Chains A and B, each alone.
Chain A
Amino acid sequence: MIFQPAIIALLLAAGLSLAMLATASPFAVQLIRHWDLGSGSERQLRLERLTYLFSMMVALVCGLQILSTLLFVFNADKMSVMFVGAMCAVGALNANAYGFPALYAQLALFFFASTWLAINRLDNQARDYPLTRLKYVLLLAYAPLAALVLYLQFNYFIRLEADVITSCCGSMFSEEADTVASEVSAMAPRQAIALFYAGLGTAVLLALWHWRGAGRRVWSGLAVGASSVVAFFAALMGIVAFVSLYIYEHPHHHCPFCILKPEYDYQGYLLYVPLFAAAAAGLAAGVLTLFARRPSLATLAPQASARLAGIAAAGFALFLAVASFMVLSSNLILLE
């Protein structure tokens, strides 16, 4: 266990997310069982008031995930000096089997929370709150996910041992200490570039099309959702396989995190902010079209979906533009 502030902060944030979702769960069950908008009974009024609290909580959880994902990556980067062979965050995350799963679980929780917020927003626009029960069924599924995040993070940190000078006699590295893998495995650049532009281009076009169609076509909405997920992964793969190389101007440094560091002028934020916003919006655009059949959402759901698709298209396009610009303005020559 490495005892340091950023780790305590991360565990605190994960613990808080879990605590909030866990305390919300019994109320969510009550809500699912007794929700009856037609009634003016005091219980119903109380339940309606509770929904405000839950929206606040999920918004906070969502924000917390963004913050703690950043913290997690920065912290891994800082800790990398402590592990033999680790050059940056990737190495520190590879220090044991829980590093990357913890990061993925955090990202999953972020996307779940952002989708929930989109559903919540839509639901709050319809006078009969048609999705309330569904929302709280979903909320019930989030507490275990938050628990998983905490579990993975805790295991990751508890199993970290810094390779420090420990004994006065035998030098530690004579025992041939294990070194950790310091790079993520990457695809060949040529394939990655093809996948990158194809995936993101498709996502942009589909999202634009859905947006132009005012979100009325259900299947184009679903396509936006699916293509956003694909584009998100294609983008991450592309960053690892070639975009990062062009930024570092180094043919072998495949790190998706170092681009966030001041040494590289924080260029990573220019990539990740539009990418995450677009992926979250695209995913939500897909999910929201599923509700267009409910009578009170017949116009609201396509509207909201189209707007989100617009955001997704803009985000992915911006991401593509920024990434292409970084590649073109780099001094590295990767492909002849």
Chain B
Amino acid sequence: MLELANIRKAFNQGQHNEYWALKGIDLEIPPARVNVLKGPSGSGKTTLLTILGCLARPTEGRVRLKGEDISGLPERFLTEIRRSTFGFIFQQFNLVRGLSAIENIILPGYPTGTPRARLVERAEALLADMQLSHRRDAKVEWLSGGEQQRVAICRALINDPEILVADEPTANLDSKLSAEFLAILRRLAEAGRTVILTSHDPLVVESEVVDRVYSLRDGQLIEVVDTRRAWP
């Protein structure tokens, strides 16, 4: 699905505080599996996630999505790919305050030019799937943490992406909600979606939902462990 070859990423390039967050990463993400990037803070896992999710371009190295090299693409095209192929769930949920749940969910559909009626229809189906239909028109700041999380999942799914990317998704959830979240992820993976998340939460890393764990330290990949299923 996604392949990285010798990925390096620098910040403050050419200045005295130049810093390499990733120092040559090679990895391959299989389709329809739940993948976890694990590591202490500062290990480069979030930077790696931004490159995997086409949010940023690597300074050096190649990124291949379904065999196509996308590492040299300008932001304009990277965004197009990101919009259609990736859905994002963030640590702080990052919902737009002041807008209702449904309005937040359809936001990623705006630049595609899909008619509003169709977007709303899709969003309603997703809300129903997450048992949130009754909160459809509630402003997001009135929602509980768990509800916000589920609205964020709906938003990530509105453009029907193949890959779901989540950054520390359980950091703001208690154990019960985390377990519910993991169950949702499993459902999505079983439906054929690829899931990539970062976490240092043992509840996630050791969960039976997870298929593969990538361990990072100091910008390098030190270990890849397949945890659950047998690989085809």
Contacts and interface: CB of A to CB of B under 8 A. Distances in A.
Q: Do chains A and B touch in the complex (CB under 8 A)?
A: yes
Interface of A: 37-38, 40-43, 45, 48-49, 124, 127-129
B13 A43 contact: yes
A40 B73 contact: no
Given A40-B57, A40-B60, A45-B57, A127 B13 contact: no
B13 A42 contact: yes
Dominant SS at the B interface? loop
A127 B71 CA distance: 11
A41 B13 CA distance: 7
Given A40-B57, A42-B13, A48 B71 contact: no
A45 B74 CA distance: 8
Contacts of A48: 74-75
Interface in B54-87: 57-60, 71-77
A40 B59 contact: yes
Contact of B77 (A41, A43, A45, A127): A127
Interface of B: 9-14, 57-60, 71-77
Contacts of B60: 40
Contacts of A37: 72, 74
A38 B13 contact: no
A43 B10 CA distance: 12
B58 A129 contact: no
Nearest to B61: A40
A129 B11 CA distance: 25
Contacts of A49: 75
Contacts of A38: 72
Contacts of A41: 10, 13, 59
Contacts of A42: 10-14, 59
B120 to A, nearest CB: 30
A105 B195 CA distance: 58
B2 to A, nearest CB: 17
Contacts of A40: 9, 57-60, 71-72
Which are the 9 A-B pairs with shortest beta-carbon distances?
A40-B57, A42-B13, A40-B59, A38-B72, A40-B58, A127-B77, A48-B74, A41-B13, A127-B73
Contacts of B14: 42-43
Contacts of B77: 127
A4 B59 CA distance: 55
Best-surrounded residue of A40, A45, A129 (most CB of chain B within 10 A): A40
Nearest to B57: A40
A21 B96 CA distance: 37
A201 to B, nearest CB: 38
Contacts of B74: 37, 48, 127, 129
Contacts of B13: 41-43
A42 B10 CA distance: 8
29 contacts: A37-B72, A37-B74, A38-B72, A40-B9, A40-B57, A40-B58, A40-B59, A40-B60, A40-B72, A41-B10, A41-B13, A42-B10, A42-B11, A42-B12, A42-B13, A42-B14, A42-B59, A43-B13, A43-B14, A45-B57, A48-B74, A48-B75, A49-B75, A124-B76, A127-B73, A127-B74, A127-B77, A128-B72, A129-B74
